[in-house]
Amino acid sequence: MPADAAAADMRRPLEARLRRHTQGQAHFDAASRGRYATDASIYQVMPVGVFVPRSSQDVATAIDIARELAVPVLARGAGTSQCGQTVGAALVIDTSVHLRRVLDVDPRAGTATVEPGLVLDALNAQLKPHGLWFPVDVSTGAQATLGGMAGNNSCGSRSLAYGNMVHNVLGIEAWLADGALLDFGPVAGLAGRAAGLAAFVRDLARQHRGQIHDRWPTLLRRVGGYNLDIFDNRSERPYTEDGSVNLAHLLVGAEGTLAFTRSLRLRLCELPRARVLGVVNFPSFRRAMEAAQHIVRLGPTAVELVDRTMIDLSLESPVYRATMAGALTGEPQAILLVEFCGADAVALAARLRALDELMGDLGLPGCVVPFSAESAQKALWEVRKAGLNIMMSLKGDGKPVSFIEDCAVPLEHLPDYTDALTQVFARHGTRGTWYAHASVGTLHVRPILDMRRGGPDGGAARMRAIAEQASELVRRYKGAYSGEHGDGLCRGEWIRWQFGPQIDTAFRQIKAAFDPGRLFSPGRIIDPPRMDEPALMKFAPPEAPRPYRTIALTPVLDWSGWDVQNDPRTERTSAPGTGADTTGGYAKAVEMCNNNGHCRKFDGGAMCPSYRVTRDEQHGVRGRANTLRLALSGQLEGEDFAGDAVFDALDLCVSCKACRRECPTGVDMARMKIEFLAHYGARHGRSLGEKLVAALPDIAPAASRLPWLFNLRDTLPGAAWLGERLLGLAAGRPLPRWRRDTFWHAMAPADFIDRATALERARTGEPVAVLFVDTFNGYFETENALAAARVLRAAGYALHVPDRASGRGCCGRSYLAGGQVERARAKAVALLAQLAPLARAGIPIVGLEPSCLLTLRDEYLVMGLGADAQVVAGQALLFEEFIAREAAQGRFTLCFAPIAEPLLLHGHCHQKAFGAVSPMLEVLQRIPGARVQLIDSSCCGMAGSFGYEARHQEVSRKMAEADLLPAVRRGKDAIVLADGTSCRSQIAHGAAREALHVARLLERQLPAANPAPAAGAADSRL
């Protein structure tokens, strides 16, 4: 029977039994399996099924069921492995959702016991009050689970000081394949079965002592194969403090092939009381490589490399530019981040001086930039950690590929090794970007390869050739082929090469002793496939049984910026639209997701609100991008692109655009959702509720004339209930109230100028702006628009307000959000006709509602609106952005009355996505006495109509309760500020507090000395 058919056959009984006998979730549909078919590697294999256990008992039951049905089992944490460790035709068991408790912390003993799905940063957050941390600080600390870290024997930036996972695990409780639950720990204390296994492995180690001595890389960074050397340590660092042997260390790095971890006991360290960082700037890459061996003698905790390409990429990133610029002197070709930790800042300052002196002795005086402030150090570490992801943002089919990126060599050989490998890349028509752990001889480097190109010149062939030549270098310099990221599918075949046939046989014997039926992770470590096997590739080449091909699709938005190819040597990309994408660039935009899992984060930033509250792979950016990729390449087994599987994956996306800014490769799911909804709507039609919500700006004029009628939904008993049934709008949510006194009603026409006057004023250089009044602030919250007008006029600006007649002054956002792109385009064309001439004259367009105004800067540029859209985007500014800009140029000099109350500020998601929160803070600081606290929150959960929809109630409220509403409740005396209409509604509904638009606060603080001048009289103030 073909493998696929066999897998399909196993699925039904497996699913049925898991559902019947466990409390966990069993996912067997094609989309769910597809989302677990890949990790941060180049591989993709459809799992038989996915199981998300709710308890340890669920795991034990699932292992039993799988064994009985002869279905392999594959343990998974965050799935951030780079070598394909979590990819396989198995039952994938995801521990990251529910099995993430800290079971015990013993601060005095310095130990913690945790479940395998716990994320490293979550553990460290709990340890911080005890002054402790778990020091294996992998770059993926915000995502990586302790079970996965142990599986891979992960290593952090500070491994020089703290070692790898294997040096920090004290014990593992784990199930064997036959269901036995064993405690693996110090060999001396073992009994029963575990003692028997220990004796077996010890005998093997004795038997192969000579080979272990001959073949084992004697480096800290060696994570390939099984740790047979625990009985005869070959690591640069002892595995245990007292020299004893711990059988748990055999499971570390075993990649889930020997046992399934139930809990881990970890050795904790004291948090360093002080840290300093010296950034050493080098005129050449080689000088940096030569210096590393000398620098480590000063006893740093970390020495991390960032090369010129990475420096340049960081300088191009709006998020990282300032931080990187602050670390540079001149134009270095490489920098080394050298960190010293200790109890005392004064002593550390002396070590920085020693670093400076050393560099002077090495002929590079004055090349060290010191970083003493903790926040500055943290920011620079973030840039370094983001290095790989920044590099992965290269557009086009050629991508930096991970397969030799963590070979480790002794430090004295680092300069020659990197030189030689660079030449290998050049011979293969590519180049590498180098970064990371110079302290331990493990430099990351990824040549750019096009994995979907087949044949002798294709990505896989080149990968193999480079891997072979790299392995010769590793051997020449007595290094370790796998020095950090493990073996997986990518390096499994190099285990025999590294350790030789005898040790390889010993590894087989270990596997047979632990897992004779090969239930756990088959094809890993023992009998691995070839690294370049076409059938295993995510972007499978033409020679693969199922080559990767995208469907034909005519997109409604312009994705041509992604439809490019790149040159692997120069990394330059071709012109937009030349990438031969059958979907006009949409698929290539989706394929930018490299599955690194950065969107599975919970602290800091805003990405991804729906994942944060559900922890469901389907509802994160990665899950959505994978679902789209599978749909666009016809891999959803009968479900096509405009089908329900994609709809379900995108349904909880609140279009907050956090991913647009925070995803290192710029996956912009909000825009992708618009594209999808356009096709989905065209196929399935739209509900009455969707149509009504989208048409709000068009209904508004009539509704404001008959507010009593349109407000009946919230005043007439039963109407809200009926509305929920007919329109899907949650009965429990009051709708915004229609009113007669809209902005256009309330505005005094004399206070505003017409278009001709505005143009004339711009010509003569007088202060003038367009006040773009959106539907929400214009019809529902008139006070906001009037307040903004008063403030700007008081500051001396004459204001022009676009004509709102016949829906002409609307941006079209409500249509766009629902995928009604044609209608949105019609709105945009009408608005641009009004705004473009003003923008061309250099008149700023100032808006109040972030989602509306920023549509002019974002989606308008991909809606085929031509040059008008470009020019308007160039002038579109949010109210605070405008004031901050004008103030910086000395044009906004208005003074405000002092304020006594504290201010609690919530930034709208789109303000965060466009870096528009800082201007809010700047503007508020203009109020004397202002004490502003920015709420560290993700999306408020309302997100346009999302929070009003009955089916989203639970998720919407959970999002609000994650950070925002608790912060509002805590800030009892504070004035709450929020510029987003949705955010204000959510705060009102959930915390019964009124939140103000910043314009309202500024208006309130206008002193009598700043009376609003009449239009035309503005310059009297100047």
- Using CA atoms of 519, 522, 525, 527 in order, give the dihedral in degrees to the nearest 10: 120
CB 672 within 8 A of CB 586: yes
Q: Of the listed pieces 104-112, 140-148, 837-845, 907-915, which binds ligand FAD according to CB under 6 A?
A: 140-148
Q: Which does 135 bind (CB under 5 to 8 A by kind): ligand FAD, ligand SF4, none?
A: none
Contact set for ligand FAD, span 69-98 (CB under 6 A): 74-82, 85-86, 95
**Among 485, 793, 989, 1000, which residue interacts with ligand FAD (rule: CB under 6 A)?**
485
981 binds ligand FAD (CB under 6 A): no
Contact set for ligand FAD, span 155-184 (CB under 6 A): 155-156
Q: Quick check: helix, strand or coil at residue 439?
A: helix
541 binds ligand FAD (CB under 6 A): no
Q: Of the listed pieces 190-198, 210-218, 658-666, 875-883, which binds ligand SF4 according to CB under 6 A?
A: 658-666
Minimal distance in Å, beta carbon 142 to ligand FAD?
10
Residues 588-627 as x/- pattern, contact with ligand SF4 by CB under 6 A: -----xxxxxxx-------xxxx----------xx-xx--
Pick from 83, 883, 213, 181: which is nearest to 484 by CA? 83
Q: Which does 267 bind (CB under 5 to 8 A by kind): ligand SF4, ligand FAD, none?
A: none
Q: Quick check: helix, strand or coil at residue 843?
A: coil
**Among 184, 260, 514, 743, which residue interacts with ligand FAD (rule: CB under 6 A)?**
260
658 binds ligand SF4 (CB under 6 A): yes
Q: Which does 77 bind (CB under 5 to 8 A by kind): ligand FAD, ligand SF4, none?
A: ligand FAD
Which residue lies nearer to ligand SF4 by CB, 596 or 633? 596
Q: Of the listed pieces 59-67, 129-137, 469-477, 657-665, which binds ligand SF4 according to CB under 6 A?
A: 657-665
CB 327 within 8 A of CB 380: yes
Minimal distance in Å, beta carbon 595 to ligand FAD?
7
**Among 22, 38, 152, 665, which residue interacts with ligand FAD (rule: CB under 6 A)?**
152
Minimal distance in Å, beta carbon 842 to ligand SF4?
33
Written as six digits, the tokens of 962 are 């994650």
Q: Which does 809 bind (CB under 5 to 8 A by kind): ligand SF4, ligand FAD, none?
A: none
HSE of 835, CA atoms in CB hemisphere, 13 A? 35
Which residue lies nearer to ligand SF4 by CB, 173 or 963? 963
Minimal distance in Å, beta carbon 158 to ligand FAD?
10
Minimal distance in Å, beta carbon 939 to ligand SF4?
7
The two most distant CA atoms of the chain are separated, in Å, by 97
- Using CA atoms of 691, 692, 697, 700 in order, give the dihedral in degrees to the nearest 10: 160
Residues 670-689 as x/- pattern, contact with ligand SF4 by CB under 6 A: x-------------------
Q: Which helix (H) or strand (E) holds 92?
A: strand 91-94
Contact set for ligand SF4, span 209-268 (CB under 6 A): none
Pick from 478, 410, 417: which is nearest to 445 by CA? 417
Contact set for ligand FAD, span 34-73 (CB under 6 A): 39-40
**Among 204, 250, 367, 667, which residue interacts with ligand SF4 (rule: CB under 6 A)?**
667
CB 504 within 8 A of CB 525: no
Which residue lies nearer to ligand SF4 by CB, 25 or 595? 595
Q: Quick check: helix, strand or coil at residue 729?
A: strand
384 binds ligand FAD (CB under 6 A): no
Minimal distance in Å, beta carbon 674 to ligand SF4?
11
Bond preceding residue 895 cis, omega within 30 of 0: no
* # of chain residues touching ligand SF4 (CB under 6 A): 28
Q: Which does 608 bind (CB under 5 to 8 A by kind): ligand SF4, ligand FAD, none?
A: ligand SF4
**DSSP annotation of 417:** H
Minimal distance in Å, beta carbon 388 to ligand FAD?
4
Which residue lies nearer to ligand SF4 by CB, 495 or 608? 608
Amino acid identity at 377: Q
Amino acid identity at 596: N
Q: Of the listed pieces 145-153, 234-242, 342-350, 906-914, which binds ligand FAD according to CB under 6 A?
A: 145-153
Amino acid identity at 209: R
Q: Of the listed pieces 148-156, 768-776, 906-914, 916-924, which binds ligand FAD according to CB under 6 A?
A: 148-156
Minimal distance in Å, beta carbon 779 to ligand SF4?
26
CB 1010 within 8 A of CB 988: no
Burial class (CB in 10 A: 0-12, 13-18, 19+), 70: exposed
Residues 636-655 as x/- pattern, contact with ligand SF4 by CB under 6 A: -----------------xxx
- What are the respective helix, strand and coil percentages of the chain, to the nearest 5? 45, 15, 40
Tracing tokens 């002793």 back to the chain, one arrives at 513
Which residue lies nearer to ligand SF4 by CB, 153 or 655? 655
Residues 203-242 as x/- pattern, contact with ligand FAD by CB under 6 A: ----------------------------------------
656 binds ligand SF4 (CB under 6 A): yes
DSSP string, 540-581: --TTSSS---PPP---SS--TTTS--B-TTT--B--TT-S--
Written as six digits, the tokens of 579 are 């990438």
E-state strands within 100-225: 102-106, 111-114, 132-133, 169-175, 181-184
Q: Which does 485 bind (CB under 5 to 8 A by kind): ligand SF4, ligand FAD, none?
A: ligand FAD
CB 351 within 8 A of CB 304: no
- How many beta carbons lie within 10 A of that of residue 448, not counting itself? 26
Burial class (CB in 10 A: 0-12, 13-18, 19+), 667: buried
Written as six digits, the tokens of 684 are 């399935």
* # of chain residues touching ligand FAD (CB under 6 A): 38
Q: Which does 22 bind (CB under 5 to 8 A by kind): ligand SF4, ligand FAD, none?
A: none
Q: Which does 692 bind (CB under 5 to 8 A by kind): ligand SF4, ligand FAD, none?
A: none
> What are the angstrom distances between the C-alpha of 458 and each of 9, 83, 492, 870, 959?
35, 19, 21, 39, 45
Through-space distance between the first and last CA atoms of the chain, rounded to whole angstroms = 86
Amino acid identity at 640: D
Q: Which does 139 bind (CB under 5 to 8 A by kind): ligand FAD, ligand SF4, none?
A: ligand FAD
Minimal distance in Å, beta carbon 397 to ligand SF4?
16
> What are the angstrom distances between the C-alpha of 651 and each of 12, 831, 977?
27, 29, 29
Cα gap 449→446, rounded to integer Å:
9
CB 511 within 8 A of CB 526: yes
498 binds ligand FAD (CB under 6 A): no
151 binds ligand FAD (CB under 6 A): yes
149 binds ligand FAD (CB under 6 A): yes
- How many beta carbons lie within 10 A of that of residue 131, not counting itself? 12
Tracing tokens 């009994």 back to the chain, one arrives at 191
Contacts of 935 (CB under 8 A, 6+ apart): 904, 905, 906, 907, 963, 964, 967, 968
CB 821 within 8 A of CB 860: no
Q: Of the listed pieces 135-143, 554-562, 636-644, 1009-1017, which binds ligand FAD according to CB under 6 A?
A: 135-143
Q: Which does 256 bind (CB under 5 to 8 A by kind): ligand SF4, ligand FAD, none?
A: ligand FAD
Which residues of the chain form contacts with ligand FAD (CB under 6 A)? 39-40, 74-82, 85-86, 95, 116, 138-140, 144-145, 147-149, 151-152, 154-156, 255-256, 260-261, 388-389, 484-485, 521, 596
User: Which residues of this protein are in contact with ligand SF4, per CB under 6 A?
Assistant: 593-599, 607-610, 621-622, 624-625, 653-659, 663-665, 667, 669-670
